[in-house]
Amino acid sequence: MKKTITLLCLFISTFSNAQEFTSLEEALKDPSTVIELDLSEQGLNEIPKGIELFINLKKLNLKKNNIQEIDTLLFSLKNLEYVNFSRNSIHKLPKQIAYLTNLSYLSLSYNNLTELPDAIIELENLERLYIQRNKITELPIDFGELKQLRKLYASHNILAFLPASFNNLTKLQALKLHKNNLYKISDVLIPLKNLQLLKLNDNQFDDYEKGKIKLRTPRKCKIEWE
C-alpha cells in the first residue's frame, strides 16, 4: 500500500511540473515532463536531434521553419495529438505517419507536397487536416476512412477529383477546396449531412455541376463560389 501511494505521488509530481517549452535546450533537461513543445520560427533545417526523448509530448509546433524532410524518429512519439508542420519546405510525408494514431490535428499547409501517403488513413482519430497551398494532385483512394474528420482545408492544390470513398466523411463540417482543378464533386456530397461550409471558388465546375452541388448539400451549408 505504501509503495502504491509513493508511486502515485511520483506520477502526480511529474505531471504537475509538465509545461509548454519554446526552447529545445530547456526542454531536453527533463524531457519526460514536456507536454507541449513550440519550436516555430526558429530557423530549423531539420527535425531536432533528441526529439524522440519527449515520450509524453502531446503538442508539437514546428511551423515557419526550413524543414525539408521529416525524420522518422518523430513517429515514435505515440502520444502526439497535435502536430503543426505548416510553412516549411516539406516535399514528402513519410508513411510512418500512421504510427501517430492519437493525432486529432495535423497541419501540412504551405509546403511542397505532391501527394499524401496511403497510410494517412490509419489516423483514426484525426479531426482536422490542413493541406492547403501544396501541389497535391489527388487524395488517397481510401481517404474516406478518416471518419472522424470534421475540417479539411485543401485549397490551392491541383486536385481534379475526389475519391469515391469521400462520401464516408459524414462528420465533415467545413470543407475548403477552392483554387483547384475540380470539375465534378456532387456525387460524393449527398451523405455529408453535417457540412456547414463548402468553399469552391476558382475550380472548373460548369453551371450544371454547380446546380447539382447546390441540390446535394444540406440547406444549412454555406457554399462560397467567390
Q: Which residues contact 186 (CB under 8 A, 6 or more apart)?
A: 209, 212, 213, 215, 216
All CATH 3.80.10.10 domain ranges in the chain, comma separated: 1-128, 137-226
pLDDT tens digits for range 84-129: 999 999 999 999 999 999 999 999 999 999 999 999 999 999 999 9
- What pLDDT shows up at residue 10? 46
C-alpha to C-alpha distance for 112 and 13, rounded to whole angstroms: 43
> Which residues, including other chains, have CB under 8 Å from residue 8's CB and lie 6 or more apart?
none
Predicted confidence (pLDDT) per residue in 120-157, tens digit: 999 999 999 999 999 999 999 999 999 999 999 999 99
Domain 137-226 sits in CATH 3.40.50.920 = no
Give the predicted TM-score (pTM) of the model: 0.91
Contact by Cβ (8 Å): 139, 163: yes
CB 20 within 8 A of CB 38: yes
Nearest to 200 by CA among 164, 224, 170, 219: 224
- Class of the CATH domain delimited by 1-128: alpha beta
Q: Give tens-digit pLDDT for 29-48.
A: 999 999 999 999 999 999 99
